[in-house]
Structure 1
Amino acid sequence: MDIDDILRQFHCENSEMTKQRFLNDFSFYISALKTMLKDDAWKSLGDSLEKKQTENAFELAHSLKGSAANCGLTPLYVLLEKITALLRKKEDGEELLLLYENLMEKKQELESLL
């Protein structure tokens, strides 16, 4: 398995840029992925959304969005982009919680590939 395999199985785009970013070093990439997936920010984002703490939720989602982009994880990035866009407008409704559920399902899908 290599970076292309993981990104292809997870339906990601532009694996060439991701491979360049990680110097085409599979172990470096996997290490970064595992670190990102273990980040407490995933759970904290859900907690902040439930408590309607939009500023904190925005900061968490924005940080995770950057990590997802850096790792070339398009499905996670797209969901986090939607979440940050709603939070930027100070939204705190049901749509955010549904997006968060979808995000966590996608995260689990990625974890099952590793």
Structure 2
Amino acid sequence: MLTVEKLEEYGADTESGLSRCADNEALYLRLVGIIVQELSSDALGEALEAGDFDKAYYIAHKLKGGVNNLALTPIAEPLCELTELLRNKTPGDYKTLYVKITCKTNELSIMIDPKLIKK
């Protein structure tokens, strides 16, 4: 079961995330579950694999907003970097950043529901 304490151990800035949810712990944890489901979809990976960088940017930017609002720092850092590369159409190692995002999402998924793990 996901708890604020587990999120703190994971590296999330729960104080900041909770403050954005009016210190409503149940709401915060529910929103973390929702963003993890969105991150666990393969939309971003598929767009990157297809070379559709405009679509990948749109998806990454949307996810970045949710992840940053919930202060999920371990995912936010590589996701922000990927979003900026895509925004500026900068050549870069998109795959490595995507793998980091996926690994950190999987770590969080295990805390919520092991069935969410992306292979």
Q: Same fold (TM over 0.5)?
A: yes
Which position in structure 2 is the counterpart of 1:104?
102
Q: Counterpart in 2 of 1:33?
A: 32
TM-score (norm 2): 0.82
Offset of residue 16 of structure 1: 2.2
Structure 1 position 11 matched with structure 2 position 11: yes
After superposition, the Cα gap between the structure-2 partners of 1:12 and 1:41, relative to the gap in structure 1 and judged at 3 Å, is closer
Deviation for aligned residue 1:89: 2.5
Letter of the structure 1 residue corresponding to residue 6 of structure 2:
I
TM-aligned CA deviation for residue 92 of structure 1: 5.4
Give me the whole-angstrom Cα distance separating, in 2, the residues matched to 1:19 and 1:40.
Answer: 20
Structure 2: distance between partners of 1:42 and 1:77? 17
Query: 1:2 Cα shift?
Result: 4.3
Q: Distance in 2 between matches of 1:99 and 1:86?
A: 10
Do the aligned residues in 2 keep the contact of 1:22 with 1:28 (CA within 8 Å)?
yes
Q: 1:30-109 counterparts in 2 under 5 A?
A: 30-39=29-38, 42-91=41-90, 95-109=93-107
Q: 4+ runs of 1 displaced by more than 6 Å? A: none
Q: State the shift of 1:10 in Å.
A: 1.3
Q: CA deviation at 1:44?
A: 0.6
Residues in 1 aligned to 2:56 and 2:41: alpha-carbon distance in whole angstroms: 10
Amino acid at match of 1:22: C
3-state SS in 1 of match to 2:11: coil
TM-score by length of 1: 0.85
Segments of 5+ residues of structure 2 without an aligned counterpart are 113-119
Gaps in structure 1 of 5+ consecutive residues: none
Q: Is the 8 A contact 2:82 2:97 kept in 1?
A: yes
Deviation at 1:67, TM superposition (A): 0.4
What is the aligned length?
111
Between the aligned residues of both structures, percent identity stands at 27
1:24–1:30 CA distance, 2 compared to 1 (3 A) = same
